[in-house]
Amino acid sequence: MYYINCFFLYSILGFLLESFIYKFINSSNHSGFLYGPITPIYGIGALIIIIINTKLINKLNLNKVLKIFLQFIIFMIALTAIEFLGGYLLKKVLDIELWNYSNKEYKIGKYICLELAIIWGVMGVIASYVIIPFFAKFIKKIPKKATYIIIFIFIIDLLFTVFK
């Protein structure tokens, strides 16, 4: 249940972050492809960060600086790969293009830009040391019943999105 709750919490936080950014830059865009206030790519990214930390990084005997540098590199690559895969799948499966970096100077195709890859690396490190530890205690307290309700609502939202 912990990982499911992480997925939903960080998907909602990602939605709120992007909604704030879009409002700040006066954009008419919205975050995500679902009707509800959830952007699944952020939940997937957070799960990847948690898994990489628990299964790899925390098992290495490295000094703090080297550990943070390694996390930055791994998160930059992993989260950029998720961004590429998300953009590609949204276009192929739902014919939606939520981001396109064709106009960026340091782009690789339409769904990757190196400027954001650096930001994903930094955000992964910040998430590892600040955001995830802060929310972990709250996530563990979410009742199973609440998780089941959230899963049900998410599935309904997903079905409405896919079969609209």
Question: What is the DSSP code string of 113-131?
Answer: EHHHHHHHHHHHHHIIIII
Among candidate residues 85, 59, 60, 75, the one with its CA nearest the CA of residue 131: 75
Q: How far apart are CA 153 and CA 47, in angstroms?
A: 20
Tell me what pLDDT residue 67 has.
96
pTM here?
0.88
User: Which residues have CB under 8 Å from 4's CB, separation 6+?
Assistant: 147, 151
pLDDT digits (tens, 9 = 90+) for 111-132: 999 999 999 999 999 999 999 9
